[in-house]
Structure 1
Amino acid sequence: MDSALEDECQAINAIYSADTLSVLSHDPIICSLNLPGEVNISLRLEFPSDYPDAPPSILGTQSVGDNVAKGQGSHAVDLAREVLAEVYQPGSPCIFDLVEEVNQRLQQYEQQSSQSQGHQEQQDAQRRGQQHSDDDASDTLPDELQSLDLLPSDKEPPWIISDPFTEKKSVFVARAAVVSSPAEAKSFLAHLLATDKKVAKASHNITAWRIHGPNETAFQDCDDDGETAAGGRLLHLMQLMDIWDVMVVVTRWYGGVHLGPDRFRLINTAARDAFVKGGYVKDSSKPDTNSKKKGKK
């Protein structure tokens, strides 16, 4: 095996896992490439003897896990071939760029497929005459919220709403409100999801709250709503800002482009904007009177 390919194997396996790029044979040079983001799919690649002066070939799948959806393996092969044609430059190793781009596009494809499936299910429900009316919107809430006593539809929680923040077509908006108990926080969230269809259909509604309870007790909780680790980061922001007796909901509408770690910055930026607008941030230059300054919507 050429030293350039050997060096690339070592680098790829150091970045991901020890068996990400494995040599299966030396004449011809056949390798197995496990996609890190799709651990149940591996591709079979053939490298020419003069790689990287000449591009590798993607022969097909090396293995496909039992729980992989039908057609997903073929889609991964087609996508990898498309990406390879875009990223390969004569004389330059290309496997790292291939892995990163294929993973991003597969994740985007899965999310779009999930959204399309949800849309199809909604259409099927409408055809069966099972679409709920606005009065029954609470039936679409998560199980843990359905049992709560919802606020009357005409009693809007005192939300303080941030400016919208947009990045690569993803939109982030935060809502913050004063709450006195976890039950009230959950009730506010349930009311929001039941009365605002646009929010209910968003990609994620990340929540966090910190509440002083009776007898010097304290309640802190958060929910990622599918945006992994986002809820914990939101709660950590509240801890750093020393914000109490407040809940926050950051809504994200996914724009089709992965933002990577930038999404956490935007989530926190939206939340911080709502906290500041609501007057929930303590002014260290003034004495603490234990009072909450309420902002205007």
Structure 2
Amino acid sequence: MTQLVRLGVVLTDRGSKYAVTGAPATSRAEVDAVLAQLKADRSYAKATHNTWAAVLPTGALKADDGESGAAMVILRMMERAGLQDHVIIVTRWYGGKKLGGDRFRRVQDATRAYLDHIGLAS
């Protein structure tokens, strides 16, 4: 079982809560295993979005999980920080108010918190 680095809820905006999790991953199968491990926690399984990006030896993968465009934000930040063989998942529990473009800033903030936590400047 992969060791998840789970920071939990790192910020709240107008009722929406954002959490960030990451783990080493070198294949799509490992990314899927990390997602399954995260979603074994009922609160993450019931989240509105589990948006993720991964930089693998075979190339980059990403999934918005309904949060259109958000995975590209994570991917760009990972590439800029030089983080490879890793997956980062930003989880959002929708709080009832649309955030518009601010949702991308919140995804950035959550990703930055993770990169800072593992010692990479973004």
Structure 2 residue aligned with 1:198? 43
Q: Which of the pair is proportionally richer in helix?
A: 1
CA distance in 1, matches of 2:101, 2:34: 29
Q: Which of the pair is proportionally richer in strand?
A: 2
Counterpart of 2:35 in 1: which secondary structure? Answer: helix
Offset at residue 267 of structure 1 (A): 0.9
CA distance in 1, matches of 2:115, 2:6: 9
Offset at residue 239 of structure 1 (A): 1.4
**RCO comparison, higher one (Cα < 8 Å, 6+):** 2
- The one of 82, 90, 99 equivalent to 1:242 is 82
- Give the AA of the match of 2:5: I
Given the alignment of the two structures, is residue 184 of structure 1 paired with residue 30 of structure 2, yes or no? yes
Is contact 1:182-1:219 (8 Å) kept?
Answer: no
Structure 1 residue aligned with 2:20? 174
Offset at residue 182 of structure 1 (A): 2.0
User: What is the Cα-based RMSD across aligned positions, in Å?
Assistant: 1.5
Is contact 1:176-1:278 (8 Å) kept?
Answer: no
CA distance in 2, matches of 1:241, 1:183: 24
Counterpart of 1:188 in 2: which secondary structure? Answer: helix
- Give the AA of the match of 1:201: K
Offset at residue 180 of structure 1 (A): 2.2
Q: Deviations over 1:193-216 (max 9, x none)?
A: 2x111001111000100012xxxx
CA distance in 2, matches of 1:198, 1:161: 13
Counterpart of 1:158 in 2: which secondary structure? Answer: coil
CA distance in 1, matches of 2:61, 2:82: 15
Structure 2 residue aligned with 1:231? 71
Percent identical among aligned pairs is 33
Larger Rg: 1
Q: Deviations over 1:2-59 (max 9, x none)?
A: xxxxxxxxxxxxxxxxxxxxxxxxxxxxxxxxxxxxxxxxxxxxxxxxxxxxxxxxxx
Name structure 2 gaps, 5 residues minimum.
none
- Give the AA of the match of 2:24: V
CA distance in 2, matches of 1:263, 1:165: 12
CA distance in 2, matches of 1:278, 1:240: 15
So what's the TM-score if we normalise by structure 2? Answer: 0.90
